[in-house]
Structure 1
Amino acid sequence: MRAPSTRAMIAELSAPWAWARGRVAWRRLARAYPGDGRPVLVLPGFLADDRTTVTLRRMLGAAGYVPHGWGQGRNRGISQALLDRMLKRLEAVTRERPAAIVGWSLGGLYAREIAKRVPERVERVVTLGSPFSGDIRANHAWRMYERVTGHAVDQLPIAAVLAEKPPVPTFALWSARDGIVAPAASRGLAGEADAAIAVDCRHIGFTSDPAALRAVLEVLRRAV
């Protein structure tokens, strides 16, 4: 398993086009895939914050879900303190019913670990280009991650087996065009997710590209 090619990584610079298409498409998609009032907690990727998931959350709200940002500022990596705050955040948004958790990239790793700890509060997990399987260094972000966090990517400061499937329905959205994370790492092996769904988008487009937005809505409507 290797990180995507340099050419694929450079192609991620097309992300503004995906964002522009998503701004046009999200209302139409929301009408086409109505939701059921379920809370949906959306977690951003590494060094991203809630601003990067605005299009996705607006669409979820328009579709009839109750979306929540993670409310923790910029995602600066995995720590026990942040995991504890996320568990409290989840408790706050699931007073009426369990939530779906949608996590982009590193946010998806958090989503899976949260669901392992409090499965009674999680209705399903949806990961967007999250490197939970195989070589944790099969991506173009791990060196920056280690510089920012001060710990090795294979020596996380929490108890975690990333490839272990949470005990709730778990859906892995992945893309063959991902220029940051190896597609195999976010697709996973048999038993590491309940379903792996291919999406035609770039890594940075997972929260804004119309193809990814549609895939999230479709997965949220799947019977489990």
Structure 2
Amino acid sequence: MTKHAPPPRHLFLSELPRAAVTLGSLALSQERLRAAPRGDGRPVLVLPGLGNTDKTTAVLRRWLNRLGYRAYGWELGRNRGARTIGEDALLLEKRLEALFGETGEPVTLIGISLGGIMARLMAHRRTELVREVITVSSPFAGPPTATNVWRAFEWLTGEKIGDPAVAANREEAAAPLPVPSTAIWSRSDGFVNGAICREPDGSECRAIEIDGGHLGVHMHPEAMLAIARTLAGEAEAE
């Protein structure tokens, strides 16, 4: 599979059964998850993926809170791109400003899929409000046609991947970040090409590979542990 090709059909069709396996592995990995590095109380804002809400990130946020972080939902409803965060992402920017004002310190952003692209945009536009960015299966580094979900993106968001504004946001998100960043990705992702979910080799953005699908990836034990280790400063580039 080349960098600009979507995942093959067999990976796409396996997403639902692999999501069930992910949930099962989550239940069987509680001891490992409880042993994850402890948090330092920093604020963490979790951004959901395309079409999802804060309900889908509740498990991850509860776990981060138990580790000792202050994890927040984005409180913007269902992620429908610009329809949700507003033109020029102003609503998301206001949410970030509010958390910065409430906590008195820069916020770590964890973005899942489309949420990761939004997290990278915020890090570029409001660097002073962002401590670190962690993306999970976020296709920020390549064309939307290297995914199997670009038509769903257009339908849910009302945006067209060829629109100049959409292309400009994509280019901005792909640029190296001015804050520490980590990209968690999978070469067996059935929705998005894993190669566009990380920066090129040699960049300052750490890349951590896991073996899993796209649906529910933020509840994959390996992804959760990678997040905890990154927050604790223990993750190494792979």
Normalising by the residue count of structure 1, what TM-score does the alignment of the two structures yield? 0.92
Q: Deviations over 1:75-99 (max 9, x none)?
A: 0123561611111111111222111
Contact 1:112 1:165 in 2 (8 A): no
Question: Is 1:105–2:108 an aligned residue pair?
Answer: no
Deviations 1:131-167 (A, max 9, x none): 1112221101101111222321242646522311221
**Which shifted more, 190-199 or 165-174?**
190-199
Counterpart in the other structure of 1:8 = 11
Relative distance call for 1:49 and 1:120 in structure 2 (3 A) is same
Tell me the residue number matched to 2:100: 94
Code of the residue aligned with 1:73 in structure 2: it is: G
Which whole-Å CA distance do the structure 2 matches of 1:39 and 1:23 have between them? 26
What is the aligned-residue RMSD (CA, Å)?
2.1
Q: Which residue of 2 aligns with 1:81?
A: 86
* Among candidates 155, 164, 173, match of residue 175 of structure 2: 164
- In structure 1, the partner of 2:221 is 210
1:29 counterpart = 2:10: no
Partners of 1:201 and 1:212 within 8 A in 2: no
Q: Kindly report which structure 2 residues correspond to 1:194-209, keeping only aligned pairs within 5 A, or say none.
A: 194-209=205-220
Q: Distance in 2 between matches of 1:30 and 1:121?
A: 30
- After superposition, the C-alpha distances for 1:156-190 in whole angstroms (9 at most, x for unaligned) are 64652231122111111100111100011102314
What is the rounded CA distance, in whole Å, between the counterparts of 2:229 and 2:152 in structure 1? 33
Cα deviation, residue 10, structure 1? 1.3
8 A Cα contact 2:199 2:205, kept in partner = no
Q: Would you say the 8 A contact 1:113–1:166 is kept in 2?
A: no
Contact 2:108/2:132 (<8 A) preserved: yes
* 38-47 or 26-35, which deviates more: 26-35
6-15 vs 76-85, greater mean Cα deviation: 76-85
| Separation in 2, partners of 1:147, 1:128 | 22
Q: Give identity over the alignment, percent.
A: 38
Q: Matched residue of 2:197: which SS?
A: helix
Structure 1 runs of 4+ aligned residues shifted over 3 Å read 23-28, 156-159, 190-193
Tell me how far 1:5 sits from its aligned partner: 0.8
CA drift of 1:199 comes to 1.3
Partner of 1:41: 45
The whole-number CA distance in structure 1 between the counterparts of 2:115 and 2:59 is: 16
CA distance in structure 2 between the partners assigned to 1:89 and 1:52 by the alignment: 19
Q: Which runs of 5+ in 1 are unaligned?
A: none
Report what 2:60 is aligned to. Answer: 56
Paired positions, count: 224
